[in-house]
Structure 1
Amino acid sequence: MFGIDLGTTNTLIYKKGEGVIINEPSVLAFNKKTGEVVAIGNEARYMQGKTPSHIQVTRPIKNGVINDFEVAEIMLSHFFSTIKKGIWSFIFKPNILAGMPSNLTEVEKGSIEDVLKDVGFGKVILIENLLAGAIGAGSPIQESTGSLIVNIGGGTTEMGLVSMGGLVLKNTLNIAGDKIDHDIMDYIRDKYKLLISQRAAENLKIEIGSAIKLKEKINFTLSGRDAVKGIPKEIVVTDTDVREAISDSLNAIRDAVSDMLYQIPPELSGDLLYHNIIITGGGSLLKGFPEFLQEKIEIKVRLADDPLTSVSRGHGMILENYNEMKKML
């Protein structure tokens, strides 16, 4: 049995008894003239912003939803082709546990099921990413106490209150890693008249980005194309620049968490003082983000261990203890 975290940014595949066996970017590059697939995963990601006009780099998952069924099927077929062997055939089709955002429509859920069945799986069991992430982060979700989890991914930020194996409250924002990257791109263009790629913006975010003021100022040399002259140009930006660029998006996430706290039933609200608020996903790795959240909501915020794999590790815990945990699905 397998588990899959089909994310906007990365796809992680867990195999029962073995752990995470695939962790690749959800990216595919193809030749628009011939239709030939040129690269998938890490190799395709490295091509972003560097390809000739006839090579298109595309991401089939947007905001956690399959927006290009054909490309998604090609990408997943490639990932699973490396692990298909032995009795996996038309006769025996293994089951798979698939993560999904909390706000999917029935049609969007059906797309996930269809694409996974098309690449060779039998039964597709859907689980909300928030629930899997809470399990992977070690939250006591089966107890009658409340735990609040915030998952900041590539396409969406999801937050939810988990208790007794289910979600009591949930909310989804289309503000996450990709939006923050584009905030940086727009800021650099407007202030410095420099055009940069999303990959360059993401690297800038990782290197010097922060949610709160740092103890020491950090500079970063950034290159791109002059927006006016069209020639190569190099500038020096600071951590303050990045903080200003992303402040609106970060405030929107923090305000949404704060708003959810007001909706929590009194019987569960006090539990957060003991269980804290858990943050997962790539966006949670932004420097100072736990402190940024705590500053307004006044409840301790804990960064999950290895937040990039929380959802996949949650899948693994369910698969390895399936008989005890299947009642949550």
Structure 2
Amino acid sequence: MIYRLILSLRNARYKGGRHSVKAPVPTICVGNITVGGTGKTPHCEMILRLLLDSDRWGSRNIALLSRGYKRRSKGFQEVLYNGSAATFGDEPLQIKRKFPPVVAAVCKDRVAGCEALAKDGAELIVLDDAYQYRKLKADLNIVLTPYDRPVSEDSLLPFGRLRDLPKRLYDADIVIVSKCPYVLDPEDKVAMAHTLGFDSYDPDTCIATRPSPTRAGKKNGEVQSCMLLFTGISYDRPTPVFDQADSRYIYSHKIVLFSGIADDTPLRNHLSDSYKIVEHLHFPDHHAYTKSDLRALRRAMKRNPTAAFATTEKDAQRLRDLPQMPRDILERLFFFPIAVDFLSDGERELFTEKLITL
């Protein structure tokens, strides 16, 4: 109850854009209402890919700004391609390595971060996980909610995984239901829209509507609408974390899976189709691996001498920070690159049009 009250007071303070400022250049915010596990990073990557492929933004200066969760550095920092996850955070480092032309930066103060990037020539900024940073008013707000645990069926912390009020979903310009099965009928999408609290949803236009709260002096509330879209996850072929990896371990079709992310269920399901997962080790989200963890991996290696070690793309960034990785471990370390895409070409086209018109 206390947490709900604090959130209500905070949201009331910023209602209607009060006490918020806009960045000097257009901004796209990618966020969520839950604590991790919705796929913000791969969605940021998809957005960057669509922007870079467009005629309008492909030759212009695009930047990405993140808080850089659990980084050791302070203040505004531009992410270096050969930098470390400890310095910049695993997510912005992953994005920088996949999109070298994009200027990636980290800064806890998003307003100051946007001003610094704009001063350096950025013409558009993608904000990773800034939906709760109310001091900055983004030009386009995109909020993710997972298909298997929509915000309407969750609870506020500490009883659930919600870090914001569920009704904040309706303040977004675009709501994306992430981690969907790749085959969803229009009826399934309408059902999900109703589950999320929308009154109506048109699968052709992808517009969802919901009456806003009644305002004083008005008998009926105004109609709120947003774009409601659906995405799924895919994984690419196994990629060595280190150049010395030996692909023969992959051919054993035995996997020791380990990860330090909020939810590795999609990867686990993907691997189960082609590999036998002989062990599964789970570490906390954004976990910084230590020598003690290496000893745990070595024990797993001795129990499964022919198995490959599989992990996530984000974990790979942190593993590369470890000094003197033992050869018998690094030669069997692989990650599976992740990507997201819309369930239909129509959704992708509508979304792209929204992006490039900023």
TM-score (norm 1): 0.32
- Higher strand content, 1 or 2: 1
- Higher helix content, 1 or 2: 1
TM-score (norm 2): 0.30
